[in-house]
């Protein structure tokens, strides 16, 4: 009986996600203004989580800098983007691996809400993407990165790529470490059907780049942000394994 309930719930959650996603996509395709489109995506994400019975708890929103900033978070599930869209104000855009640009409906939605696709493997294309991120951050865009780049079946925090921290250091934007818990339980890596769960996001105190050259400042920001996340994350440090 418990197995049947899990299947029924998971099927319901997937159907709900598809319906909510298609409605939100239809709206953002015809809505002018980036802020309005992001507000629609936020409302759709919050509605999906509520109807799916996934309780979302967010702490630290009041501590977000008023100026442009870079949020960096651990990555545990495909749900992470949905819950951060639901949790953060519409002024934030997401930085996403370029592979997602090949997923037709998802890519259309992400482009309309101002997501930035970045190349992880081609150095030349990656450099071009990085310059675009610098320009957008310098123009006042707040960004969300998952600096691990991907997630693994094994719980824990992987090493961080440098892109988020170089962007922050070069544009003098504060870095806000964030910890998400519960998405791994709600949709584990490799699973197809979601499960009900409570999802918690903790936005930690902002970190400012040290004075000096951008490369050294970025390295320091990366270490400080990763240490702050590890202190709040009840999972092992996989980079030290």
**Confidence (pLDDT) at 241:** 62
The structure tokens listed for 152 are 């693994």
Q: Read off the pLDDT band of 109 (50, 70, 90).
A: very high
Residue that the structure tokens 């000096």 belong to = 212
Q: How far apart are alpha carbons 212 and 214 in whole angstroms?
A: 6
Q: What is the reported pTM? A: 0.91
Beta bridge partners of 180: 201
- CATH for 2-240 is 3.40.1130
The total of other beta-carbon atoms located within 10 Å of residue 5's CB is 9
Q: Which DSSP string do the residues of 56-87 spell out, in sequence order?
A: EEEE-GGGS-SS--EEEE---STTHHHHHHHH
Assigned token pair, 217: 């400042």
Lowest pLDDT segment from 42-51, 163-172, 208-217: 208-217
pLDDT at 139: 72
Question: Quick one: DSSP state of residue 201?
Answer: E
pLDDT of residue 127: 54
CA distance 45 to 41: 6
**Mean pLDDT, rounded, for 168-196:** 93
What is the model's pLDDT at position 135? 74
Q: Which residue has the higher pLDDT, 47 or 214?
A: 47
Q: Is the pLDDT of residue 44 over 90?
A: yes
Q: Where are the domains of the chain?
A: 2-240
Judged against a pLDDT cut of 80, whether residue 25 lies above it is answered with: yes
User: 131-179 pLDDT, tens per residue?
Assistant: 777 676 667 789 999 999 888 889 999 999 988 898 888 888 899 999 9
Least Cα distance to 150 among 218, 238, 231, 209 occurs for 238
Whether the pLDDT of residue 113 is over 90: the answer is yes
Residues 6+ apart with CB under 8 A from 74: 146, 148, 157, 178, 179, 180, 229, 233, 235
């Amino acid at each position: 009986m418990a197995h049947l309930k899990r299947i029924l719930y998971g099927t319901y959650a997937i159907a709900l996600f598809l319906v909510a996603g298609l409605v939100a996509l239809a709206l953002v395709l015809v809505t002018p203004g980036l802020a309005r489109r992001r507000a629609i995506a936020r409302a759709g994400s919050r509605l999906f989580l509520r109807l799916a019975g996934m309780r979302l708890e967010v702490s630290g929103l009041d501590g977000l800098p008023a100026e442009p900033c870079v949020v960096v978070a651990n990555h545990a599930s495909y749900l992470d983007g949905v819950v951060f869209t639901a949790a953060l104000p519409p002024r934030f855009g997401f930085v996403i691996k370029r592979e997602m640009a090949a997923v037709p409906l998802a890519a259309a939605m992400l482009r309309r809400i101002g997501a930035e696709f970045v190349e992880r493997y081609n150095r030349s294309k990656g450099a071009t993407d990085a310059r675009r991120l610098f320009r957008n951050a310098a123009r006042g865009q707040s960004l969300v990165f998952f600096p691990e780049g991907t997630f693994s079946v094994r719980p824990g925090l992987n090493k961080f790529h440098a892109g988020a921290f170089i962007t922050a250091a070069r544009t003098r934007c504060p870095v806000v470490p964030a910890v998400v818990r519960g998405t791994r339980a709600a949709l584990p890596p490799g699973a197809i059907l979601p499960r009900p769960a409570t999802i918690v996001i903790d936005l930690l105190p902002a970190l400012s780049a040290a004075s000096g050259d951008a490369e050294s400042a970025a390295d320091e920001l990366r270490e400080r942000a990763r240490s702050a996340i590890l202190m709040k994350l009840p999972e092992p440090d996989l980079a030290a394994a």
